[in-house]
Amino acid sequence: MRSAYTQFKWKLHDHYQKCGTSVRGRATLPPPDLWGERSTEEWHWLCDELYTDPKYIDKCKKNSTSRKRQRTTHRGGAMPFIQHALRTAKEGNPLSFIDNWAAMYQDSNSNWVSDAARDKYDRLKNKREEHKEKLTLEAPEGTPPESVQVTARDEIPIMAEECGRKGKRVRGLGSFPRMKLPTVTSSTAVSSEMNVMQDKVKKLESTVDTMRSQNAQLMTMLKKFLMNSQGCFADTENIDMNIVVPNSEEDDVFGRDEDGVQNNGDNSETEDLEEDL
């Protein structure tokens, strides 16, 4: 809905600009398939009060300049990046912010939307491998190298370093996490923010594990029920379950921010025209 409204506003303004002058634009209504049954007075209001407003004109110029500097855009839609990561984890895949970021910049055929996105993922992946090597060296003697894994919590500093930050959020994580911390630039404050982020990711990982366990239990119960039902010959191996566990911790992680304000899926990565590449 947000995307459709944004496109609608853009098409109206584009029609106005193509008229060449403010007088001609005011006198020319948009096409019926765009303007619908709206009145002429509403169009005149847009032309007189908005399109000729110096502040609006200046904002449009700045947005245009930002779009020209933006080297690529993601394919994640309006859903926050963290929601995509959770959906992938529910399917049984490891929770990884770096791999989730890569998926947002690839099309349905796994083709990169740009060379810049592919190069950034290569840097993220290399830094993750470097961190894994460090963890392997620090592991107790005799620990199998394949058992050493870089967790999502470990990936947050890598994302912050490579993708950058916007306020108190790390680019590439969408609208999560939201934090109330003093805006200072000292290393102590940055370390504190990272600790808060990692605590939230730990909660997220626990939520995913709980939901997987509950889904497995429900699937087992369903199979037993079908097998015990008289005359039931359903192929229980091919059952597709997408179970949503109500009142889970996910509501606390994603449903509301720290002020208790409902998160409606606003993806600030898109709306703010970030220049993260």
Residues 6+ apart with CB under 8 A from 16: 25, 46, 47, 51
Taking alpha carbons only, the member of 150, 101, 157 closest to residue 276 is 101
What whole-number distance in Å separates Cα of residue 238 and Cα of residue 27?
Answer: 62
pTM (2 decimals)? 0.48
- Cα 150 to its chain centre, rounded Å, is 21
**Under a CB-based contact definition with an 8 Å cutoff, are residues 262 and 184 in contact?**
no
Residues 6+ apart with CB under 8 A from 154: 128, 131, 135
What whole-number distance in Å separates Cα of residue 150 and Cα of residue 198?
Answer: 13
Residues 6+ apart with CB under 8 A from 68: none
Residues 6+ apart with CB under 8 A from 83: 174, 254, 265
Query: How does pLDDT run along the chain (277 residues), one tens digit per residue?
Result: 567 888 899 899 999 999 988 899 999 999 999 999 999 999 999 999 999 999 999 999 998 888 777 766 777 777 788 888 888 888 888 888 999 999 999 988 889 988 888 999 999 999 999 999 999 999 898 888 888 989 888 898 898 888 888 777 788 876 654 434 333 333 444 455 556 666 666 666 677 777 777 777 888 888 887 777 755 444 544 544 444 444 444 444 444 444 444 444 444 443 343 444 4
Q: One-letter amino acid identity for 73?
A: T
